Amino acid sequence: MTLKQLENLVTIDEDITNPEFGVYYDKRSIEQLLEYGLILIDKPPGPTSHEVVAWAKRILEIPKIGHSGTLDPQVSGVLPLGLGEGTKALGVLLLGPKEYVGLGRLHSLPSKEKLQQTLDLFKGEIYQKPPQRSSVVRQTRTRTVYELELLEQKERLILLRVMCEAGTYIRKLYYDIGEILGFGSSMIELRRSKVYQFSEEQLVTMHELTDAYYTWKENNDSEKLRNIILPIEHTLSEIKSVVIRDSAIDSLCHGAQLAIPGILQISPGLKQNDLVAVYSQKGEIVALAEALLSEPEIKENNKGYAFQTKRIIMKPNTYPKSWRTSPPPKE
């Protein structure tokens, strides 16, 4: 199965991949998925995001798990967990929007017209100052609210759907709405229903994760766990892609920049400064990089650096070394 982001790429050159090194992204063993995997947890209200990560580490018996986008203890919903080296790819999810469904209480009852007019004021770019109990510096900053919809109203209770930029404080949004209305409002309950391309239909509970891992360990049945742990490459479906030769992989894993001769395919419409995911021919994520050249410039040239490596994800020595660290001896 081909990854969505590796379909319809522009071919720069052709090559074959060595089956003895690496592994096709969708053919990984469970042990390999625990090193390059993604789990979409349905976080319950109560624990902190860090507590959920700690529980997942104990369940899966691995030392390295990270999460994308902290949820307050009382907030439930989508919490992406990266496993092993996969944690390095989670930052990409901060580039996309997040969706929340929240229940709030108005401190008085406005007309429907005034409520809708007030909600419309909070669409687009807004100013926010983080609440006193937050993990970031309390400085006024701008955030974008892409969509703000009143789903339901019952007397002073309002149910809102908010699609917004990462880092938007929904509790503060309710407070500010109340300030504009003139009589205050407060948030009662909140659920995150979407993180970038991942929605709550894809979520699993901690109980389901525990059961799947136990079934694999005790009964050698991996079906449930395979349905839960996704290849980490799914995290990168919304950014542009580059496919490279086997011979270029290990140099990138040691921090080298990507030159044009190592490139096989690129996303159409690639522009300078675009963030891209660099893949092997087997669909494995190698690194995140920034484009130094556009698609036309890469196609027109046969040498020079085309991408600057930003984050190495694949472990070095996964593919054989095919580059020199010093000139060959003179004969």
pLDDT for the residue numbered 112? 93
pLDDT for the residue numbered 326? 45
**pLDDT-derived band of residue 323, with 50, 70 and 90 as boundaries?**
low
Give the whole-angstrom CA distance, residue 105 versus residue 116: 15
pLDDT at 324 over 60: no
- Taken in order 104, 108, 111, 113, the sign of the CA dihedral is negative
What would the two tokens of residue 136 be? 């970031």
What does 103-172 look like in DSSP terms, one character per residue? EEEESS---HHHHHHHHHHTSEEEEE---SS-SS----EEEEEEEEEEEEEETTEEEEEEEE-TT--HHH
Clarify whether 26 is annotated catalytic. Answer: no
Helix (H/G/I), strand (E/B), else coil: 296: helix
In a 13 Å sphere around the CA of 121, the CA atoms on its Cβ side amount to 15
pLDDT at 130 over 80: no
**pLDDT-derived band of residue 129, with 50, 70 and 90 as boundaries?**
confident
pLDDT, tens digit (0-9, with 9 covering 90-100), for 24-74? 999 999 999 999 999 999 999 999 999 999 999 999 999 999 999 899 999
Q: Of all residues in the chain, what percent carry a pLDDT higher than 90?
A: 91
* Catalytic-role residue among 15, 26, 72, 211: 72
pLDDT for the residue numbered 329? 52
**pLDDT-derived band of residue 325, with 50, 70 and 90 as boundaries?**
very low
Closest CA to 173 of 212, 209, 122, 222: 122
pLDDT, tens digit (0-9, with 9 covering 90-100), for 290-314? 999 999 999 999 999 999 999 999 9
User: Which stretch of 77-81, 130-134, 231-235, 278-282 has the lowest confidence by average pLDDT?
Assistant: 130-134
Give the whole-angstrom CA distance, residue 48 versus residue 71: 7
Q: How far apart are the first and last CA of the chain?
A: 49
pLDDT for the residue numbered 98? 97
Burial (CB count <10 Å: 0-12, 13-18, 19+), residue 96: middle
Mean of all residue pLDDT scores within the chain: 94
**pLDDT-derived band of residue 19, with 50, 70 and 90 as boundaries?**
very high
Q: What is the pTM of this model?
A: 0.91
pLDDT at 234 over 90: yes
pLDDT, tens digit (0-9, with 9 covering 90-100), for 174-229? 999 999 999 999 999 999 999 999 999 999 999 999 999 999 999 999 999 999 99
pLDDT, tens digit (0-9, with 9 covering 90-100), for 136-182? 556 788 999 999 999 999 999 999 999 999 989 999 999 999 999 99
- Please name each of the domains of the chain with its CATH number: 4-25+235-312 (2.30.130.10), 35-94+199-228 (3.30.2350.10), 97-195 (3.30.70.3190)
pLDDT for the residue numbered 139? 78
pLDDT for the residue numbered 193? 98
Give the whole-angstrom CA distance, residue 172 versus residue 178: 10
